[in-house]
Every structure is written in C-alpha cells, then in structure tokens.
Amino acid sequence: MHVAVLGAGYAGIALARKLERSLSDDVAITVVDERETHVVQHLIHRLVRYPSLQDGLTVPIEALLDRATHRRARVTDLDPDAGEVTLEDGMLSYDVGAVCLGARTADYDIPGVDEYATPLKRPRHAEAIRADFLDVCESGGRTVVVGAGLSGIQVAGELADLARQRGASEAVEVRLLEQRGTVAPAFPGNFQRAVAEELADRGVGVETGRTVEAVDADGLDLEGSEAVAYDQLVWTGGITGGTALGGQRPQVRADLRLGERTFAVGDAARVVDANGEPAPASAQTAVRQADVAAENVGRLLGYYRDGDDFRPHMARYRYDELGWLVSVGDGTVAQVGPSVLRGPAAKALKTTVGAGYLASVGAIERASDLVWEEVGSKPVPG
C-alpha cells in the first residue's frame, strides 16, 4: 500500500516522520515537494538582519526522512476522493494521502501588489527585502510593511533594528499598515498592547484601519485616505491556498478529512476543531494536527487493507493553545496563559521554541547553533 504526503513544510515533515514510526514497513511513504529543503518558517524574518542564519534554518528534506521517499515535483492538481495527484512531470496515485501544501501570501487581487511588493515566505524573499532596505538606508526613505499579523510585525521590527545597526534610523522610516483596528488583530488585547509598545520602542510607525485599494511603483492608494508613498514595499497581508487547491483553503472538520482517501493538515485548509472553533494557521497548530492525521491515516489504511464492513472511527483534532510568541527586532513578546512577557524571559522562550522544533526534526546540531546565535552568546555576522 502507498501513502502520499503532499508538501514538506511543518505539517508534512511532522506527519511523514510520525508515519515512518507508526506504519508497517510494507507501506510505502512518498513525500512530494518541489524544493530540496525544508525551511524553518517561523524564524525566516531573522534572515533579513542575519543572512548567515540561512544554513541553520534550511534543512535538506531527505535528511529529515528515514524510510520515506522524497519526490521532487510540483503538485498542480489532485482528486482527494480518487487518491490521484497531478504533478508537473506526471501522475501519482495513493491509497491514503495528506495535503500539507501550506499557503501562499494573499494579494486579494489588489492591482499592483504582485508586481511591486515583496512577500516573506522563502529565504530568497528575505534576501531581497534586506538588499532593498539597505538601499533605502543609503539614500534615505520610507519602507512600508502591509499587514500587522505576526509576520508583518516581525519583519517591521527586523527592519527598524537593521536601520539602527546601520546608523540610519534618522534617515529611514518603517511604517506598518493594518486593515483592522489594531496590530495582531487575532490576539488578546494585552498581547496587542505589548506588541504595539515594542513597535513604538523601535520607532516603527503603525497605522491601523488602512485598506489598500491599489499599488503602483511609487505609492499605495488607500480607501478614504491620501495615498502613501514608499521606497520599498513588503506585503504580509494574509494567506490563501495554492494552485493545487484552486487558490482556496478548503474547510475541513476535526477529523481533517478532505476527501474519501485524503486528509488536510496545516495551513492548506481551514480546520474547524472538535469544539467547533477555527484553528489558527501556525507552526504549532500544524505540528499538532499531524498527530491526528497520522492516527487517521493508519486507521483508514487498515480499513482498505482488511476490507472491513464498517468504516473506522476517526480521531478528532482539538486546538490546544500553548501560547504565542512574536519577535520585534531585538525585543520579544510572549503570551503564556493570561500572562504576557516582554524582555529577556520572552526572548529566551522564543529561541527555545525554534531550537526545540529543529531538534524534533533531526537537526540538533543546527538547533544548538541557532540558540547560541539568537541569545547573543557568540557573535552573529551581519
């Protein structure tokens, strides 16, 4: 029998490793991803200031797998009921599969976004953002970051502190725009206030209630407001599905079932958990959903293999909030339960989360280096 895991992000790698341990050796496991490396996505903003971290945040996919096979190919379409995947270079069939393709940055069909703005999803994006910002530091000007979710907050903080490191704080303005009424709009009020204070401490200008209607080479047209000129534009305004799912993030219930033979895990879908609540798109959510998906893949395989008359009971995912952390340049805000932390305690927690994830996917030596570099116990080259 054959299991296919489509995508090698957080959800895909976590699921593949669990299946390697839980399924019998006669079940073939294929991980499909068009890239050679897995990226530790929740720390990618650090590459804007510290490009030397890239080797620590990119891990060869094959190095993370034991007996699963990595097929390097791009998924263009799939039939979740039939268990058939269309790839750029052919077809792939499976008995049970999981869609772990993640999401892409949403541009909401706003004219000019794709042409003039840079997202932050891959190391090459961080490299481009850094290069463009260094030009702004040289000549002076304004960098606008659109979207004040965690990604936008983090990249704005990195840019502000990079300007400070370059002695360009007086010549450069970093402005963060958000459509809704506050930064980190999906989070509790005390977390929002702490993040806003960290941004203010770093000189990041924040404007909320700003809706972008169009973008051109020089500025953004805002609904009901004057245009905002920019010298550099970074876009972190939400997520949407990839082309294999028609640009959508389909909704799935707590059993993560997308189709007869297929589950959806992580950012690729909008998951409604066992309590009827939407699960947030995050690394911790994806990794924990992989536990449920692995259990259900095994049960469904057994059903197909044994030819049972009764369909198996599926495990159900229940969102368990473990807390939230966001870095704002050299500062960090952490929420654990009702408490919000700032300063060294929050930063140490943020670093430990990143290192712990790397260790969990078999890159312990890289995790150790990452901790040292993040906490500043040894120099980090610029």
Q: What is the pLDDT of residues 290-304, one digit of tens each?
A: 999 999 999 999 999
Q: Is the pLDDT of residue 4 over 70?
A: yes
Q: Is the pLDDT of residue 242 over 80?
A: yes
Q: Would you place residue 108 in the very low, low, confident or very high pLDDT band (cuts 50, 70, 90)?
A: very high
pTM: 0.91
Same fold, 2-34+72-103+241-306 and 105-239+323-375: yes
Please identify, in words, the CATH class of the domain defined by 105-239+323-375.
alpha beta
pLDDT of residue 164: 97
Q: What is the pLDDT of residues 245-274, one digit of tens each?
A: 999 999 999 999 999 999 999 999 999 999
Q: Is the pLDDT of residue 278 over 70?
A: yes
Averaged pLDDT, 70-97? 98
Q: How far apart are CA 293 and CA 299, in angstroms?
A: 10
Averaged pLDDT, 40-54? 90
Tokens of 330: 């050299």
Domain boundaries, the chain: 2-34+72-103+241-306, 105-239+323-375
Q: How far apart are CA 154 and CA 324, in angstroms?
A: 13
pLDDT of residue 371: 45
Following DSSP, what letter does each residue of 195-206 receive, concatenated?
Answer: HHHHHHHTT-EE
pLDDT of residue 25: 97
Q: How far apart are CA 43 and CA 284, in angstroms?
A: 13
Q: Regarding predicted confidence, which is higher, 232 or 377?
A: 232
pLDDT of residue 360: 63
Helix axes 10-22, 283-306, angle to 10 degrees: 40
Q: How far apart are CA 3 and CA 101, in angstroms?
A: 15
Instruction: Specify whether the CB–CB gap between 145 and 152 falls below 8 A.
Output: yes
Q: What is the pLDDT of residues 7-26, one digit of tens each?
A: 999 999 999 999 999 999 99
Q: Is the pLDDT of residue 381 over 80?
A: no
Average model confidence (pLDDT) across the chain: 91
Query: What stretches of the chain show up as alpha helix (H) in DSSP?
Result: 10-22, 54-57, 61-64, 113-116, 123-139, 150-165, 189-201, 283-306, 344-360, 364-375
pLDDT of residue 323: 80
Segment among 45-59, 195-209, 349-363 with least mean pLDDT: 349-363
Averaged pLDDT, 335-362? 71
Q: What is the pLDDT of residues 352-374, one digit of tens each?
A: 665 566 566 655 345 446 545 55
Q: Regarding predicted confidence, which is higher, 309 or 244?
A: 244
Q: Regarding predicted confidence, which is higher, 295 or 343?
A: 295
How many CB atoms sit inside 10 A of residue 299's CB?
16
CATH 3.20.20.70: does it fit domain 2-34+72-103+241-306?
no
